[in-house]
Amino acid sequence: MSIRLLPPTLVNRIAAGEVVERPASAVKELVENAIDAGATRVDVTMGDGGRARILVVDDGRGMSPDELALCVERHATSKLPGEDLLNIHTLGFRGEALPSIGSVARLTLTSRTPGAESAWSLTVEGGAKGEVEPASHPEGTRIEVRDLFYATPARLKFLKAPTTEMTHAVDVVNRLAMAHPEVGFTLSDGTRQRIRLSAAQGELFEARLIRLGGILGREFADNALALNAEREGIRLTGHVALPTFNKATSAGQYLFVNGRPVRDKLLHGAVKGAYRDVLAHDRHAVVALYLDLPPEQVDVNVHPAKAEVRFRDPALVRGLIVGAIRHALAEAGHRASSSVSEAALASLRPGEGLGPLGHAPPPSAVRLPWGAGSYRGQHPSAAERQLAYESQAPVRNSWGEGGGLAETRPTGALHTLSQTPHAPAMAGEGGLAPTPVPDPDAHPLGAARGQIHDTYIIAQTETGLVIVDQHAAHERLVMERMNGALEGEGRVKSQMLLLPEVVELDEAAADRLVEAAEDLGKLGLALEGFGPGAVVVREVPALLGDTDVKGLVRDLADGLAEWGTAQVLQDRLGHVVATMACHGSVRAGRRLRMEEMNALLRDMERTPRSGQCNHGRPTYVELKLGDIERLFGRR
């Protein structure tokens, strides 16, 4: 068969397969055109999920009759003044959208420029262009797409149900709305409005947060941290959620480059790296990040859909994102998301998931929003805690910089305020005389009032009470101290064991540990080979105090097996520190004295990211007095 040129109609249909994948793709291209035309309002209507009809109306600059006739020709655009594809300042620039849509659907364009006597209209059906004719329409542009893919019936077979196609369109419009809060948007399915967003007023940060709250919900706005960082001409702004406000997928991550919504693996990887020490591996942060950089520093001509970009210096961009997010999380201090308290209250309110006889459901049945699942499996039962407690060593180091515990001895599994040895009964009153404690009004996390089930600290605040998970909180404190030591001195202080600990492993695991011994030494863990299949540990990090050395070493060996080789240990130091912190933290089932509880609270207030443990679960729940009173019907 000889080589031949394809007819223009067929060429346009082939191109349409790249640009217009589904109805949402057509909506994206048409809405981007409206934004580029300076519209302050864009209204979208879809019928049958976009198959039967897509209508986009804007109040932008409009098009003259000559421009109207030219805009449906391939590669005709008003957005590329020169020939430099690295100098793009608009969302569109390829000149492919309208001719691609017109080649596979029935397309009608009606437009009027400011001050023009009338509007003009043009129809394109299956690639066949009609004549420009006078029409009636206000200033702006109206584009109607009917019978999408009627000219390519095979493409119709690949479309999903109308509700699914509508969902994709909602996502497209929401992303563009996040990037352009100055523009008002509506999206209707013909019977009800799926999106209704007014143009946000005020300065950029305020307008963006209003728009994000309208799309992602009030909870995101209440738990968002603002970003504003710049490095070498690249500026990063936006909002990121507290770690305890997270999702099961990365669908809550929105990334914009020079006002363009993009899906970029580099950016998603940077976000994951920034939250690495505060989120479980199967949970994802909720963020809206806006990168602004010189056009020549980014290539947006990577894919016809313009959803992917390529950076000239990807390492610089990644470093900026990771650094800015980590700084914002550190500045948040002990703050945890408000959804934590709301979930706790929801599990207690009458009529909302109550158990038998109207009581709140057991902890194992409570589902929480931060990825912890149920509490079952997260903490042992009371009987298990009692057994573990009574079998553990009775003596601990004193509380100090090392974060250890003062000497305590087990006397029971339930340690309520009435059983506190530091709170004798008041004479003649029958009440309790609390140990002198800090003024609850003087500290954000209040003053400790007792400990329940040897696991949770109850503290009174100025406006309510706080319940602290002692293991999760102390785990975060130990981890932050170890990270601080690494950043400041380059290594963690170690403590020599009175008797070196020999740990038996399989031979491969022992070899991995010996290979990583130098890096582990920087973390305060000194070990060396001790024959085939064994290592001997001579020093442990001083911050860990009295820890399970064998359990720690075996967990590190398992981690090295998962990561591959010891050469990648430097990239995994956060995971190693987290493992050590978990082993060196005060355990659930460990009784604390009142002064130890208050010391823990004060350390939490001083420590960055202490509102969540190393796995993204909250370290404390705060209940306001008004909420508590409503639970008891006092309000």
Q: If DSSP states are collapsed to H, E and C, what string results for 534-569?
A: EEEEEEEEHHHCCCCHHHHHHHHHHHHHHHCCHHHH
496, pLDDT greater than 60: yes
Instruction: Name the H helices within 20-161.
Output: 23-36, 65-70, 97-104, 153-156
Dump pLDDT digits (tens) for 604-630. 888 888 888 777 778 888 888 888 888
Q: Can you give the CATH number for the domain in which 510 is found? A: 3.30.1370.100
Are 237 and 328 in contact by the 8 Å Cβ rule? The answer is: no
Question: Is 367 among the domain residues?
Answer: yes
Question: Is 229 among the domain residues?
Answer: yes
Are 585 and 471 in contact by the 8 Å Cβ rule? The answer is: yes
pLDDT of residue 535: 93
The residue that leads in pLDDT, 400 or 273, is 273
DSSP string of 363-424, one letter each residue: GGG---TTS---SBTTB--HHHHHHHHHHS-S--PPSSTT----------S---GGG-TT-P
Same domain for 363 and 315: no
Closest CA to 286 of 254, 258, 318: 254
Same domain for 186 and 57: yes
Distance in angstroms (rounded) separating the CA atoms of residues 81 and 103: 26
Which bin fits 184, alpha (ψ -120 to 50), beta or left (φ > 0)?
beta
Same domain for 162 and 25: yes
Dump pLDDT digits (tens) for 63-120. 999 999 988 887 666 655 555 556 566 775 656 788 889 888 999 999 999 999 999 9
Indicate the residue among 164, 197, 230 that finishes a domain: 197
The residue that leads in pLDDT, 224 or 545, is 224
Q: Averaged over 335-350, what is the pLDDT?
A: 62
From the CB of residue 358, how many other CB atoms can be counted at a distance below 10 Å? 8
pLDDT of residue 110: 97
Q: Can you give the CATH number for the domain in which 385 is found? A: 3.30.1540.20
Same domain for 26 and 150: yes
pTM: 0.64
DSSP-assigned beta bridge partners for residue 44: 56, 187
Dump pLDDT digits (tens) for 507-530. 888 988 998 888 888 888 899 999
Same domain for 228 and 180: no
Same domain for 75 and 160: yes
Same domain for 193 and 64: yes
Question: Is 482 among the domain residues?
Answer: no
Classify residue 7 as exposed, middle or buried by CB count within 10 Å of its CB (0-12, 13-18, 19+): exposed
Question: Is 481 among the domain residues?
Answer: no
Total count of domains within the chain = 4
pLDDT class of 543 with cuts at 50, 70, 90: confident
Same domain for 235 and 92: no
395, pLDDT greater than 60: no
Question: Is 1 among the domain residues?
Answer: no
pLDDT class of 583 with cuts at 50, 70, 90: low
The residue that leads in pLDDT, 304 or 436, is 304
Instruction: Name the H helices within 180-280.
Output: 204-216, 218-222, 265-274
Q: Among 160-174, 372-386, 539-553, where is mean pLDDT lowest?
A: 372-386
Question: Is 337 among the domain residues?
Answer: no
Average pLDDT, the chain: 78
Distance of CA 41 to the CA centre of its chain: 30
Are 122 and 132 in contact by the 8 Å Cβ rule? The answer is: yes
Closest CA to 482 of 574, 358, 604: 574
Indicate the residue among 168, 197, 226 that finishes a domain: 197
Q: Can you give the CATH number for the domain in which 282 is found? A: 3.30.230.10
440, pLDDT greater than 80: no
Residue in this structure with the two tokens 């863990």, named with its chain if needed: 525
Same domain for 167 and 85: yes
pLDDT of residue 279: 82
Indicate the residue among 176, 197, 218 that finishes a domain: 197
Report how far apart, in Å, the C-alpha atoms of 30 and of each of 65, 172, 343, 426 are: 19, 11, 41, 76
Residue in this structure with the two tokens 């690949």, named with its chain if needed: 158
Phi, psi of 118 (to 5 degrees): -150, 170
Q: Among 60-74, 343-357, 468-482, where is mean pLDDT lowest?
A: 343-357
Q: Among 93-97, 149-153, 204-208, 508-512, where is mean pLDDT lowest?
A: 93-97
Question: Is 21 among the domain residues?
Answer: yes
CA angle 387, 393, 397 (to 5 degrees): 135
Distance in angstroms (rounded) separating the CA atoms of residues 403 and 60: 62
Same domain for 547 and 450: no
Are 614 and 479 in contact by the 8 Å Cβ rule? The answer is: yes
pLDDT of residue 306: 65
pLDDT of residue 559: 76
Domain residues for the domain of 504 are 491-583
Report how far apart, in Å, the C-alpha atoms of 139 and of each of 39, 55, 56, 118, 319 are: 11, 16, 14, 9, 45
Which of the given ranges, 371-375, 413-417, 536-540, has the highest pLDDT on average?
Answer: 536-540
Same domain for 169 and 86: yes
pLDDT class of 146 with cuts at 50, 70, 90: very high
Are 348 and 596 in contact by the 8 Å Cβ rule? The answer is: no
The residue that leads in pLDDT, 132 or 309, is 132
